Homo-oligomer: A and B are copies of this chain.
Amino acid sequence: MADLTATRNSGSGHDLFRVTYRLHCPATVAAALAEDIALEQSVEVPSHLISDEIIRRDFMGRVTGIVSTTEEIHLASIEYPAHLASGNLSQTLNLLFGNVSLKPGIQLIDIEFPESFLSEFSGPKLGISGLRAACNVWGRPLLATAIKPKGSSISELARIAGQFAEGGGDLVKDDHNLVDRHLADFQLRVEACQTAVSQHAKASKACLYFPNLSGTLHDLERQAAFCVELGIKGVLVAPMIAGLETIRHLADSFPLAILAHPTMSGSFLQSGQGISHALWLSTFMRLCGCDGTVFPNSGGRFTFTKEECLSIAAAARQPLGRLKDCFPAPAGGMSFHSLEGMAADYGPETIFLVGGGLLGYSNDLVESTGAFRTRIEELFPNSSPAVAAGMNGRASHVSACEIPVAASGSLGRISAISPLVATSSTESFEARILKFLPQFRWEGREVTVYKQATGLPFAHVDRMELIGKFGESTAFDIRYFEIAPGGHSSREKHFHTHVIIPIRGVGQLECQGATMVLETMDIAYVPPLAVHQLTNVSREPFGFLCIVDHDRDTPMAP
């Protein structure tokens, strides 16, 4: 065992998760339980059944120490090779806590992430200073509220949002249960609230409105796209319901700040098992790209202790690789009179999310908001306008217009759409016309050699990419192929479909065993997995437009 340890530590010391679990069990079984965890979470078979030395060395968890703090509480240190997480949060959770969640008395309380792992995550796009710049608020906590209750009319919700903005509030979010069955309803509500907030925000500073997104990734993308279109700067999401990797993908794909709601997080935070408050509500939220994390404030209607709340706030702000920090957003349990204590507890780098406290202060929401804002400014004298201007200048390099758009998969294409966003993909925002030229050529486009990674045989085929490979935001590509007399495309099949529109000469399509003649402006559809081939049996060139899905599989041999 000593040899293996030496090999791994010397060769790949940066590529381990160093994880601490708190075990609640009698001292006599702590070592065995720690060993169980290390195996259960990695290879999931008893150690004696692992004969392969490479698996033992590179795929198995390993207990590196156990420290007992009381007779019943023990801290077990376990290392896992970081590659077991496959660079995604779904598998990270599966690895570090998946099956262990099913065993009582085990708490995941600390993770030392290797840089190689953290560098794969974009993290929060704005972080604390970026969100400050978007509001133009410096040196004091942001004042935030939620619009509710569900069941209120759109105009009533918009009125609340507008009055909060008018009173000088900084950020108003949807209640997390404002979920619409249809996208159209979401659009109506969000547009009304955004309009109200924009109209009433002060000239000197913005009030941001964060709508609540819900559903599958497809739903979230459609909702997010609409928000971007409206100029909205951020959204509320529920990572524990949507899935952390889903939120990470959303954060990476859209120029939107992300505020995390803790709904469904609580069972992981019950005493004696689960995941520590700091890891679950801050560290994992930063990994999935959240710029702010909402949690129930101590003294409110939930039971988090002040110590637990402060641990969340600390983890939201502390270094985590190159990831930006994240605003802790304690919610609930705040009244006008408790602002002073909150200020002392949490300091300026905080979002004060106030609901009932505002409503209870007076019957006039504009007035209540103004009173809370003024009180917060008194408690943080450095937030005076003069200082704020200076702060703003300092932070000008992180203005809200600079929300970076991460490179990503299919949605990366849609992500590059906001005219508010500075991105290298500005090409996709330009109208363009490819003028048709003699000899079936187009301005600005060149013939490329037709070839395929598959190695399938073909003959005398020219190919020209027209649309889809030049930054356009299309779900499809348009290409022009030209087959010389006697030539043919490769005989192949694939999951994606083709639409073929001949524009020059006459050709022949073999598809699903049948052979058909194709003439100019015919439109041919080749279905999924149909074996097909195009041939030119004429004496003239045969040219056709071919339209395919942008995201598609690789052709296979028949």
Contacts and interface: CB of A to CB of B under 8 A. Distances in A.
Contacts of A102: 262, 265-266, 269, 296, 302-304
Interface string A273-302: 111000000000000000000001000011
A263 B524 contact: no
A57 to B, nearest CB: 9
Interface string A295-324: 010000111100000000000000000000
B91 A179 contact: yes
A430 B179 CA distance: 40
A553 B40 CA distance: 47
A550 B475 CA distance: 8
Contact of A475 (B103, B176, B549): B549
Interface stretch (A15-23, A397-405, A508-516): A508-516
A112 interface: no
A101 interface: yes
A419 B495 CA distance: 11
Contacts of A98: 176-177, 238, 241, 263-264
Contact of A433 (B52, B181, B518): B518
A216 B249 contact: yes
B214 A303 contact: no
A267 B273 contact: yes
Nearest to A150: B59
A4 interface: no
A287 to B, nearest CB: 14
A175 interface: yes
A417 to B, nearest CB: 4
Interface in A338-395: 355-356, 359
A15 to B, nearest CB: 14
Contacts of A40: 301
A155 interface: no
A473 interface: yes
A431 B95 contact: no
Given A262-B102, A435-B522, A436-B521, A553 B150 contact: no
A125 B313 CA distance: 45
A23 to B, nearest CB: 14
A84 interface: yes
A177 B81 CA distance: 13
Which size class do A's interface residues fall under?
35 or more
Contacts of A430: 527
A152 to B, nearest CB: 7
A55 B526 CA distance: 53
A225 interface: yes
Nearest to A549: B475
A59 to B, nearest CB: 3
Contact of A217 (B97, B104, B217): B217
A49 B152 CA distance: 13
A480 B525 CA distance: 16
Given A149-B59, A214-B90, A549-B476, A467 B179 contact: no
16 contacts: A40-B301, A43-B149, A45-B355, A45-B359, A90-B241, A93-B241, A97-B264, A102-B269, A104-B271, A218-B410, A225-B495, A267-B274, A428-B527, A430-B527, A434-B522, A476-B476
Interface of A: 36, 40-46, 49-50, 52, 54-55, 58-60, 84, 86-88, 90-91, 93-95, 97-104, 148-152, 175-177, 179-181, 214-218, 225-226, 229, 238, 241-246, 248-249, 262-275, 296, 301-304, 355-356, 359, 409-411, 417, 419, 428-436, 442, 466-467, 472-476, 478, 495-497, 499, 501, 503, 509, 511-512, 514, 516, 518-530, 532, 545, 547, 549-551, 553
Question: Shortest 9 CB-CB distances between A and B: which pairs?
Answer: A59-B151, A101-B266, A102-B266, A98-B263, A43-B149, A243-B243, A436-B521, A55-B151, A476-B476
